[in-house]
Structure 1
Amino acid sequence: MNLRGEKMERIMQEIWKEVLKLQKMPSIGDSFFDLGGNSFLAVQVIAILEEKYGKTIDIIAFYECETIENLVARIENKESLD
């Protein structure tokens, strides 16, 4: 599935909103962990991303990036190298 830029960011926002049980949509610059995320919830996000959209990111990269903006950039960069 070819998802790029803003579309991928929107998908990640929706996943985070659901997993973190947020009232409003998170910003692409918000830290997952500052919003109440933890390693268990990060694994849930990773699983949803892979299962529904075929996108993969490892837990270490998730911790390094921690914002939607950085995660999407990492995913797109990884795909351009594959």
Structure 2
Amino acid sequence: MVPAVFVELPELPVTAAGKIDRRALPDPEARAGARKVVAPQTALEREIAGIWREVLQIPEVGVNDNFFDLGGHSLLLMIVLNKLQESRAETLDIVELFEHPTVSLLAQHLRTRPVGPAQAGARPAEKPAAATGGASAEEIKRQRLAAREQRRQARRGSRE
């Protein structure tokens, strides 16, 4: 993992015993709070920033803030992706979010990207039946649920 904030010190504070005095170290969060936040201007920027605030659970997101610098990671990005797809009723690719990690870059990308009939409100295409052994998506779902129920019953039987 890479630290979110680096604090440069001329020397480390030490106690009388010669150990590092952790209480005398500056608070890195206070330094991180010194960033300049540029408020979202457009409705799309406000929408994206609102989703980021909700997912990252932070009070403020600026248009130039990087999602990953704010504490985001790939799993949280998936939540952002789902929320954006729900609110915009169009299919997005996770790669688009990785390539445009700030509110302004993502908003600009979403404004300028072509939206064709395959993207607007479309769900990802199902795999052909041949690729799934002839079974439909519903049949595969039923099989998974049945297998899960069998495992659950087997665990209950082994406890008794």
When normalised by structure 2's length, the TM-score is: 0.44
Higher relative contact order (CA 8 A, sep 6+): 1
Distance 2:56 2:90 in 1: 20
Deviation at 1:55, TM superposition (A): 4.0
Give ranges in structure 1 of 5+ residues lacking alignment: none
Give ranges in structure 2 of 5+ residues lacking alignment: 1-40, 117-160
Which of 15, 28, 40 is matched with 2:51 structurally?
A: 15
Which of 102, 105, 124 is matched with 1:70 structurally?
A: 105
Which is higher, the Rg of structure 1 or of structure 2? 2
When normalised by structure 1's length, the TM-score is: 0.83
Name the counterpart of 2:155: none
- Residues matched between the structures, number: 76
Deviation at 1:73, TM superposition (A): 0.9
Identity %: 33
Distance 2:68 2:45 in 1: 17
> After TM superposition, what 4+ stretches of structure 1 lie above 6 angstroms from structure 2?
none
Distance 2:91 2:112 in 1: 12
Cα displacement string for residues 6-57 of structure 1 (whole angstroms, at most 9, x for unaligned residues): 00000111100000010x2200110000000001111100100111231443
Which of 19, 34, 41 is matched with 2:76 structurally?
A: 41
Structure with the larger helix share: 1
